[in-house]
Amino acid sequence: MDSTPVFLLTGFLGAGKSTLLNRLLSDPEFADTAVVINEFGDVAIDHDLVRAGKTQVVRSTTGCMCCTAGSDIRTTLYELQTLAEKGEIALRRVIVETTGLADPAPLINDLIPGGSPAVGLRDHVVARNFALAGVVTLVDIETGEAAIDNHFEAMKQIAFADRLLMTKTDLVRDGGSTEGVALFRTKLANANPAAQIFDGKTSDFNPSMLFQARAYVPASLGDDVIAWLALEEAVRAEKPRAHGQTGAGQQAVDRHGDRIRTFTLIREEPVVPAAFRKFMGLVSAAAGPRLLRVKGIVSLSDDLTHPHVVHAVQHMVHPPRKLHAWPNEDHRTRLVFITDGIDPEPVQKLFVAALDNQPSRVYRRFTDLGSGLKNLFHAAVTRPKRDETRKMENS
């Protein structure tokens, strides 16, 4: 019996993995594809943003999959195989979307022959029925270089890929710089000479090019990849320390350090669009590159029928995008933050103050986010009050 091909879909935070998945899942060729979505955080958002169509979408447990030794990926594949054998799903391929912070080494070790040892019947079933058929890494041309410079995971995601996809290249070309795209391609080729590189915004690009089954051979990707895979086994042999959420009987390895934090903001009532824009603008301006990712679903007071998807990466806050309908009965506003060294408490308090229209509290609640913020927020908060005072004096 032929093995079911498994593809890893990686890319640093905000690279466009969910967007690519939605494009894939609208293609009839990708019917009977199982999608495993791993999310970094305690509240799942990404699975609500991916349209299932005729495919089966399976969401893994929240928390970073690469930090869980046990392993989550083998458990999930075993469950898929069980459903397929019962005839409950058709299974032609599996795409595993990792978190933007995922180190691909432990996941690849779990899926390649000679990698992590089988520890039970589950692992033997997975080894017989599934085969790693490729690693696809998305790289955002706008923030990719900064991610590589500041986060080792981003570099490893590129190094382990046998297919690289440049995203958001149209934004660079719109600015008149085709040379910028060519230069970025050259940098990726230097970082991983063995990988095929695609431009997601060219007319001849088809996402199916990325997910054609092939033999994934780590040795062809260079000595660093082999060394990282060997180091992964050494890491797992050591006594790990707790990190994130894991399943019963599992242990975890902290791969992201103490500075990387995730937290969730939830609002029961619909939010006023202007107040929400103010909140996002203040957070983005203050945190800058430390705001690694914000993704969420927002209930706006002027359009209760439709949810709006919010994305932010570092200093860039993208306009909310309307969905056709709520994905389920949960109509609350839910925002998942992934940050570098930001205390969630002042962000939570700012969220409440901004959405409750309490401008006098915004400055006081947000000064803990770092040096240089006092003047920024003092101006943002007091300017409306000064304007209102002038109006009263002139009346």
pLDDT tens digits along 298-349: 999 999 999 898 888 777 787 888 888 887 888 999 988 888 778 888 888 8
- The Cα 178–Cα 223 span in angstroms is 33
pLDDT of residue 389: 47
Q: Which residue has the higher pLDDT, 22 or 198?
A: 198
Q: What is the pLDDT of residue 250?
A: 45
Q: Which CATH superfamily is domain 4-252 in?
A: P-loop containing nucleotide triphosphate hydrolases (3.40.50.300)
28 contacts: CB under 8 Å, gap ≥ 6: 54
* For residue 102, pLDDT beyond 90: no
Least confident range of 177-181, 223-227, 360-364: 360-364
Q: What are the start and end residues of each CATH 3.30.1220.10 domain in the chain?
A: 260-394
What tokens were used for 216? 């994934």
Q: What is the pLDDT of residues 281-304, one digit of tens each?
A: 888 877 777 788 888 889 999 999
Q: Decide which of 52 and 107 is more confident.
A: 107
* Conformational region of residue 188, where left means phi above 0, alpha means psi within -120 to 50, and beta covers everything else: alpha
CA gap 309, 330 in Å, rounded: 14
- Per the CB < 8 A criterion, the answer to whether 364 and 377 are in contact is no
Residue 138, pLDDT score: 96
Span(s) in the chain for CATH 3.40.50.300: 4-252
Please tell me the predicted confidence (pLDDT) of residue 188: 93
In Å, what is the CA distance from 181 to each residue of 17, 147, 149, 172, 198? 19, 17, 18, 7, 11
Q: Which of 92-106, 161-175, 297-311, 363-377 has the lowest mean pLDDT?
A: 363-377
CATH number, domain 260-394: 3.30.1220.10
Confidence of residue 51 (pLDDT cuts 50, 70, 90): low
The rounded mean pLDDT for the chain is 78
pLDDT at 341: 77
